[in-house]
Structure 1
Amino acid sequence: MYKEINFTELSKELLEQLQKGAFLTVKEGDRVNTMTIAWGALGYMWNRPVFISMVRYSRYTYDLIDKALDYTVSFPLSGQLKKELGICGTKSGRDIDKFKECGLSLKEGENVNSPVIEDCDLHIECKIVYKQPMDESALEQSIKDKCYSKGDYHVLYFGEIVKAYVKGK
């Protein structure tokens, strides 16, 4: 049982968990993949609630999300799934079936094509409304040195939050 919420209702919990990890899941055609993210932004742009996800070109998820119309982000707020976050942040969907490897259950998205990770507490469904490759010339040098020493930059995906919900008790 799930309860729909306003995207701001659990924003503090969402942002605190994001630093520990969340699952970005995308479906394109018959391919589905999830990856751990720890960077992102929650906000309000273009008169819409948005979540901004960042995906590196080298990631298998990039192959899917760049062709997809949407994505979901699932947050395990109760301290569960630490091992699974680790696996999904270090292994590639090119090499393993992360869902099988981690025993993660998928639930169809309610308003998007991409599923959510059912084992999590909080879910946001996002419709991609804008994407932008990073402009490395505009990035502060210390961030380039620390986060992009190998030149593997991100593409930013601005997702309009079309639904946010929590697992009921």
Structure 2
Amino acid sequence: MEFNTNIFEQYDKKWALLTAGDKDKFNTMTISWGGLGTLWNKPVATVYVRTSRYTNEFMKDNDYFTVSFYPEEYKKTLGVLGSKSGRDMDKVHESGLTPKEVENGITFAEAEVTLVCRKLICQRLEPENMIPEIAKQFYENEAQHDMYIGEVVGIF
């Protein structure tokens, strides 16, 4: 497996779709926070999902998730997928993206790269464990994030 990228820009500048579930029922959301690295001698991807997000239910209920990256031309589409909820509408259909089943997950045909991840841990980010300015800025009036770390088991 090989994936060469600028890890400090991959999530923040390019954004990604986080998808969990199976071909019969899945949800996806745009993410711009995350990380790539090594943990417990495994290649890992880290993602953060607010507890209020519909995708969080799918993340909790499934052992695998995908993180997929797209060409710049899909930035507007990713913006919509990050601002609408799958609870309220079929946002995947509305996006025009083409769902694609891969081993242990769902991605989209338009993706440049998809990481398939096996969930290793889910940990709630508790504001009382943060420096005060971060807790205030991101959590004073917002739901907390769950941090998911997944072993990268496939790259497509």
TM-score by length of 2: 0.92
Question: Unaligned 5+ residue runs, structure 2?
Answer: none
Provide the residue aligned with 1:48 in structure 2: 42
Match of 2:126 among 114, 135, 152: 135
Of the structure 1 ranges 25-34 and 149-158, higher mean CA displacement relative to structure 2 is found in 25-34
Match of 1:93 among 69, 86, 96: 86
Let me know the Cα RMSD of the aligned residues: 1.5
Question: Unaligned 5+ residue runs, structure 1?
Answer: none
1:144 to 1:28, Cα distance in 2 relative to 1, 3 A: farther
> How do 1:5-154 residues align onto structure 2 when only pairs under 5 Å count?
5-6=1-2, 9-12=3-6, 15-20=8-13, 21-27=15-21, 30-76=24-70, 78-110=71-103, 112=104, 114-154=105-145
**Distance in 2 (alpha carbons) for counterparts of 1:62 and 1:23:** 13
- 1:136 maps to a residue whose letter is P
Identity %: 37
> 1:24, 1:36 within 8 Å by CA — same for their partners in 2?
yes
**Distance in 2 (alpha carbons) for counterparts of 1:16 and 1:118:** 22
**Distance in 1 (alpha carbons) for counterparts of 2:142 and 2:135:** 8
CA deviations over 1:111-137 (Å, ceiling 9, x no partner): x1x201221101100000111111221
Give structure 1 regions of 4+ aligned residues with deviation exceeding 4 angstroms. Answer: none
1:61 to 1:143, Cα distance in 2 relative to 1, 3 A: same
> 1:129, 1:160 within 8 Å by CA — same for their partners in 2?
yes
**Distance in 2 (alpha carbons) for counterparts of 1:164 and 1:28:** 18
**Distance in 2 (alpha carbons) for counterparts of 1:36 and 1:91:** 10
Q: Residue 62 of structure 1 aligns to a residue in which SS?
A: helix
Of the structure 1 ranges 93-102 and 23-32, higher mean CA displacement relative to structure 2 is found in 23-32
CA deviations over 1:86-129 (Å, ceiling 9, x no partner): 1111100101111110111111122x1x2012211011000001
1:56 to 1:28, Cα distance in 2 relative to 1, 3 A: farther
> 2:20, 2:27 within 8 Å by CA — same for their partners in 1?
yes
Shift of the alpha carbon at 1:80? 1.8
TM-score by length of 1: 0.86
